[in-house]
C-alpha cells in the first residue's frame, strides 16, 4: 500500500524522555517519506520554535483529562491512517477518541513501562492510578496493535494485567539520534570534577523517585569510595531529593555527590564520565541508558524487570548486576573503575550496540508494524519480536 499518514499523540514538547522519543520518531518517519504529525496538548511559541522541521499540532488544552474532545476533532479533521499514542494515558484517550470520531484510523498503543509495578509501587498512593491496570485490561483490547519497548513490558501486560495476547504486538526498543548526541557531547563541562582524570566520575540520569532506587546507588557508592576515590553525579529532579540528600549525609559521602537537577544536555557528561549506572527497580526501555552508550560510556545496570537487559543484551554490551543489592552493585562498579581494559572494552561495545538504536532503524520497525496492521486488519497474532 502507499505510505500511510501517521500521527503521534503525547503530552508536550517541554523536554524529557517522551519529548526526545516522539520528536526523534517524527524525524525518522519524515526521512522515510511518511507524512507525520506530532500532536500535543499544548506548546508555547518558544517551544514550537525549537522544532521548525517538525509538523506539530497543539490541541490547546492543559490536561490530559480534558483532551478527549480535542482529540476527536483532530481525528475527524486530519484522519491519519495510524495514531501512535504514548504514554499509557494517551492510549486510553486515543481508543475512546477513535470510536467517538467514527474514523477508520488504526490505534497502535505504545507501552513504555512495567505498568503493574508502576501502578502498584510508584503510584500506590494515587487512587486514580491504582486502578489503572483494570482500566487497561478492558480498554486495550479495542486497539489495533501494541508496541512494547521491551520483552518484559509485553510479558507484564499479558501475564500480570491479563490483557489479551490476541492483539498484534511487537517489541521495538526506543530510538536515539547518534549524530545529535555526538554534536551535543562536544559541549564543554566546566565542573572541577572533570578536571582531575585521577579521580573517576560516576554518572546517573534519573528522576528522583522510587523506581530508580537511587538510595541503593548511594549505598553502593559509599562502599566503592572505601576502595577507590570517586565522585557521583545524579542528574535529575523528583520527589525524593530531600531524602537522598539526607542519606548522603548519613553515609558520609555528601561532599562526593553532586545533584544539580535536570540538565538539558546530559550528553556532555555521558561522554566524559568514567561510568554510567542505572540502579532501577524496573524500567521500560530507558533512553538515558541508550544515549549514554551512544556517547561511549561504560555502563552498569541491574537485572530488573524491563528493557535494561534487552539494551545491553544480558551483559554483552555492559555489566549487569543483581537488583536491589547494594553490595553487588558496588562490586560491579569497582570492577569497571579499577580494570582499565574492561572499561575500555565496555566503552567500545556500547558504541557498537548504540547503532542498533539508530532512529532510522527504529522508525523503520515502527513503520513496518504499522503497515502490517493496516494491510492485515483481521490478523490476530501473538507477540512478534
Please tell me the predicted confidence (pLDDT) of residue 380.
43
Beta bridge partners of 295: none
Backbone angles phi, psi at 295, to 5 degrees: -85, 0
What 3-state class would DSSP assign to 362? helix
Dihedral (CA of 352, 355, 357, 362) sign: negative
Under the banding of pLDDT at 50, 70 and 90, the label for residue 128 is low
Lowest mean pLDDT among 51-65, 157-171, 186-200, 271-285: 157-171
Confidence of residue 2 (pLDDT cuts 50, 70, 90): confident
CB-based contacts of 252: which residues, under 8 Å, 6+ apart? 222
The tens digit of pLDDT for each residue in 215-240 reads 999 999 999 999 999 999 999 999 99
Residue 118 is predicted with a pLDDT of: 75
Averaged pLDDT, 243-267: 96
Mean pLDDT of the 309-316 span = 95
% of the chain with per-residue pLDDT over 70: 94
Residue-level pLDDT at 382: 39
Q: Mean pLDDT, the chain, as a whole number?
A: 92
Of the listed ranges 1-5, 185-189, 202-206, 215-219, the least confidently predicted one is: 1-5
Please, which pLDDT band fits residue 131 given cuts at 50, 70 and 90?
Answer: low
Q: Residues 139-182: pLDDT tens digits? A: 999 999 999 999 999 999 999 888 888 899 999 999 999 999 99
pLDDT confidence of residue 385: 40
Q: Which whole number is the average pLDDT over 330-350? A: 97
pLDDT in tens, 80-102: 999 999 988 899 999 999 999 99
**Contacts of 128 by beta carbon, 8 Å cutoff, 6+ apart:** none
Query: Percentage of the chain with pLDDT > 90?
Result: 83
Q: Tell me what the mean pLDDT of segment 17-28 comes to.
A: 93
Do 318 and 350 touch, CB atoms closer than 8 A? yes
Q: How far apart are alpha carbons 342 and 336 in whole angstroms?
A: 6
**Of 200, 232, 198, 190, the residue nearest 215 (C-alpha):** 232
Round to whole Å and give the CA distance between 166 and 8.
23
Better-predicted residue by pLDDT, 115 or 275:
275
As a whole number of angstroms, the distance between CA 84 and CA 109 comes to: 6
pLDDT at 362 over 90: yes
* Cβ–Cβ < 8 Å for 295, 270: yes
Q: Which of 289, 265, 256 is nearest to 275 (CA)?
A: 289
Residue 257 is predicted with a pLDDT of: 98
Residue 120 has pLDDT above 90, yes or no: no
Q: Is the pLDDT of residue 275 over 80?
A: yes
At residue 340, does pLDDT exceed 60? yes
Query: Which of 114-118, 122-126, 215-219 has the largest mean confidence?
Result: 215-219
pLDDT tops 50 at residue 379 = no
23-32, 61-70, 265-274, 375-384: which has the minimum mean pLDDT? 375-384
Distances in Å between the alpha carbon of 131 and those of 121, 125, 242? Answer: 12, 11, 29
Confidence (pLDDT) at 383: 41
- With CA atoms as reference, report the closest residue to 357 among 322, 312, 325, 327: 312
Amino acid at each position: 500500500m502507499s505510505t500511510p499518514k501517521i500521527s503521534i499523540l503525547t503530552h508536550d514538547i517541554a523536554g524529557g524522555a517522551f519529548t526526545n522519543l516522539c520528536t526523534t520518531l517524527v524525524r525518522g518517519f519524515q526521512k522515510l517519506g511518511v507524512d507525520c504529525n506530532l500532536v500535543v496538548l499544548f506548546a508555547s511559541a518558544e517551544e514550537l520554535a525549537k522544532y521548525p522541521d517538525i509538523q506539530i499540532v497543539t490541541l490547546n488544552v492543559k490536561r490530559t483529562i480534558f483532551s478527549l474532545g480535542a482529540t476527536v476533532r483532530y481525528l475527524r479533521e486530519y484522519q491519519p491512517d495510524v495514531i501512535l499514542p504514548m504514554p499509557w494515558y494517551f492510549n486510553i484517550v486515543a481508543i475512546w477518541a477513535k470510536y467517538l470520531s467514527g474514523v477508520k484510523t488504526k490505534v497502535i498503543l505504545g507501552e513504555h513501562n512495567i505498568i503493574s509495578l508502576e501502578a502498584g509501587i510508584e503510584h500506590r498512593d494515587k487512587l486514580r492510578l491504582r486502578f489503572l491496570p483494570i482500566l487497561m485490561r478492558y480498554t486495550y483490547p479495542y486497539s489495533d496493535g501494541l508496541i512494547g519497548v521491551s520483552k518484559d513490558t509485553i510479558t507484564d501486560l499479558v501475564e500480570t494485567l491479563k490483557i489479551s495476547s490476541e492483539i498484534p504486538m511487537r517489541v521495538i526498543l526506543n530510538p536515539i539520534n547518534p549524530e545529535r548526541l555526538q554534536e551535543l557531547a562536544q559541549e564543554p563541562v566546566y565542573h572541577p570534577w572533570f578536571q582531575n582524570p585521577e579521580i573517576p566520575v560516576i554518572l546517573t540520569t534519573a528522576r528522583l523517585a522510587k523506581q530508580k532506587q537511587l538510595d541503593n546507588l548511594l549505598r553502593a557508592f559509599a562502599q566503592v569510595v572505601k576502595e577507590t576515590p570517586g565522585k557521583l553525579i545524579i542528574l535529575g529532579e523528583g520527589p525524593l531529593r530531600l531524602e537522598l540528600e539526607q542519606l548522603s549525609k548519613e553515609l558520609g559521602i555528601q561532599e562526593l555527590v553532586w545533584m544539580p537537577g535536570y540538565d538539558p544536555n546530559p550528553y556532555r557528561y555521558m561522554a566524559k564520565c568514567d561510568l554510567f549506572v542505572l540502579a532501577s527497580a524496573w524500567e521500560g526501555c530507558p533512553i538515558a541508558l541508550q544515549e549514554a552508550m551512544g556517547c561511549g560510556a561504560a555502563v552498569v545496570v541491574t537485572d530488573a524487570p524491563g528493557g535494561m537487559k534487552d539494551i545491553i543484551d544480558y551483559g554483552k554490551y555492559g555489566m549487569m548486576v543483581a537488583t536491589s543489592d547494594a553490595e553487588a552493585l558496588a562490586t560491579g562498579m569497582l570492577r569497571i573503575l579499577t580494570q582499565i581494559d574492561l572499561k575500555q572494552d565496555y566503552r567500545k561495545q556500547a558504541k557498537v550496540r548504540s547503532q542498533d538504536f539508530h532512529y532510522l532503524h527504529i522508525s523503520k520497525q515502527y513503520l513496518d508494524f504499522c503497515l502490517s496492521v493496516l494491510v492485515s486488519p483481521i490478523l490476530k497474532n501473538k507477540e512478534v519480536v
